[in-house]
Amino acid sequence: MRYSDLGNGLKDSGLGELLALAGKPEMYNFSSGFPAEELFPLKELEQVNRAILQKEGKQAVQYGSSAGYLPLREQIAARMNKIFHADCSAEQIFITSGSQQGLSLLGQLFLDKDDVVLVESPTYLGAINAFQLCGPKFVEVPTDEQGIIPEALEEILRTTERVKMMYVIPEFQNPTGVTWTMERRRAVMEIVNRYDFPVLEDNPYGELRYDGETMPALKSMDTKGNVIFLGSFSKILMPGLRVGWIVAEPEILEKLNLLKQDVDLQCSSFAQRQVSYFMDMFDLDAHVIVLKERYRKRRTLLYDSIQKYFPAGVTATYPEGGLFLWVTLPEGMDAKALAPKATARKVAYGPGAPFYPNGGHGNHLRLNFSTMQEDRIVEGIQILGDLLLEELEG
């Protein structure tokens, strides 16, 4: 078959295989980002499904709006105000099939081949892959434990042509778990408003904070309509419904609406109502509190087990929320090369290199703590710690 350049560029990274392996029940799975399925509100969902058919019936399975089910857009606007202090209305909310579709639509909307997209270094692999379809150049902005470094960002903007947009995850970043400080948020937004370019603020984990106070979203500090916020119900409710959202200016929503009609018409009418009715009939905030209690425990247990079982010279971030922490091995060690040895001992993790779009940085790995039961977290880290020790002493 003669594919397009895009088609020819689609290569299997092997990550799919790793994820499939990691998903086997006997594995200690630190590799995926699955939410804890034992906490899915299934009884509530059964009531929700009945109510949808009783109240709306045929409308719930007929064609609907490309921008999304209006009551859901209204509920999300209210939630954006309440949780993220971002003042917006339903006219600025666009429903997507999870955040992943938001990333892909926004990439298509802004990026031509060889345009520059700025990303944190490292950044979310799914965003790299979504943008990659447009053939851009990735410029990695240096980050530290407080977020993106504003001076480095400004230097890049001053010296780089064709910067079309920036993609960031200020809350509990994937993969590092880092959260931007207030100071950094202010400094970055000052630069963004001066240089005037779109910033994609990806925030799938923002509500899952285990310590400290909620920080204002970049969107809440946006006075010029430059920030485009991406949210998702995957981590706070259920990922398999595939419901996420974009907050953006109406001008951008018009474009998204036309693009969505061309790529898949609309999201599932029924799935959108499942989310909307759940929020109407039950207390999503109370559900998030249950998730936070469980994940807080797992986060702390993972971090403490690392302190206890990992050898000296291996460091880990302490995430205040989200689903991941980030491990740095001594320079020269290769987390990808080590992965088969770990899987032979039934431990799966995410090698760090793919999170750097321009390569390098082989000595990192990402660990997830939302998926596994507590005892298995401790056992898995003990096994991985033994392996790391052997490698270092080897």
Q: Helix or strand or coil: residue 193? A: helix
Residues 48-87 within binding reach of a copy of itself (CB under 8 A): 49-50, 53, 57-64
Task: Please pick, from the candidates 14, 17, 24, 46, the single residue that binds a copy of itself as defined by CB under 8 A.
Answer: 46
Task: Please pick, from the candidates 68, 84, 153, 164, the single residue that binds a copy of itself as defined by CB under 8 A.
Answer: 164
As a whole number of angstroms, the distance between CA 390 and CA 368 comes to 23
Structure tokens at 192: 């963004």
Is the CB of 99 or the CB of 328 nearer to a copy of itself? 99
At closest approach, how far in Å is the CB of 319 from a copy of itself? 21
Q: Which of 109, 91, 66 is nearest to 255 (CA)?
A: 109
As a whole number of angstroms, the distance between CA 128 and CA 141 comes to 14
What is the DSSP annotation of 77-104? HHHHHHHH-----GGGEEEESHHHHHHH
Q: Does 110 bind a copy of itself (CB under 8 A)?
A: yes
At closest approach, how far in Å is the CB of 130 from a copy of itself? 5
Is the CB of 259 or the CB of 387 nearer to a copy of itself? 259
Task: Please pick, from the candidates 27, 76, 80, 111, the single residue that binds a copy of itself as defined by CB under 8 A.
Answer: 111
Q: Does 95 bind a copy of itself (CB under 8 A)?
A: no
Number of chain positions touching a copy of itself (CB under 8 A): 78
Residues 250-309 within binding reach of a copy of itself (CB under 8 A): 251-252, 254-255, 257-259, 261-271, 274
Cβ pair 135, 113 in contact under 8 A? yes
As a whole number of angstroms, the distance between CA 386 and CA 379 comes to 11
Cβ pair 86, 247 in contact under 8 A? yes
23, with CB counted inside 10 A (0-12, 13-18, 19+), is: middle
Task: Please pick, from the candidates 38, 161, 375, 393, the single residue that binds a copy of itself as defined by CB under 8 A.
Answer: 38
At closest approach, how far in Å is the CB of 190 from a copy of itself? 20
159, with CB counted inside 10 A (0-12, 13-18, 19+), is: exposed
Task: Please pick, from the candidates 74, 89, 126, 301, the single residue that binds a copy of itself as defined by CB under 8 A.
Answer: 126
At closest approach, how far in Å is the CB of 66 from a copy of itself? 8
* Cα end-to-end distance, the chain, whole Å: 47
Q: Does 223 bind a copy of itself (CB under 8 A)?
A: no
Residues 233-252 within binding reach of a copy of itself (CB under 8 A): 234, 238-242, 249, 251-252
At closest approach, how far in Å is the CB of 64 from a copy of itself? 6
Task: Please pick, from the candidates 18, 109, 217, 230, the single residue that binds a copy of itself as defined by CB under 8 A.
Answer: 109
Residues 375-394 within binding reach of a copy of itself (CB under 8 A): none
Say which residue the tokens 């431990």 belong to.
Answer: 347
Cβ pair 123, 354 in contact under 8 A? no
Binding mask 165-204 for a copy of itself (x = CB under 8 A): --------------------------------xx------
Say which residue the tokens 């045929």 belong to.
Answer: 58
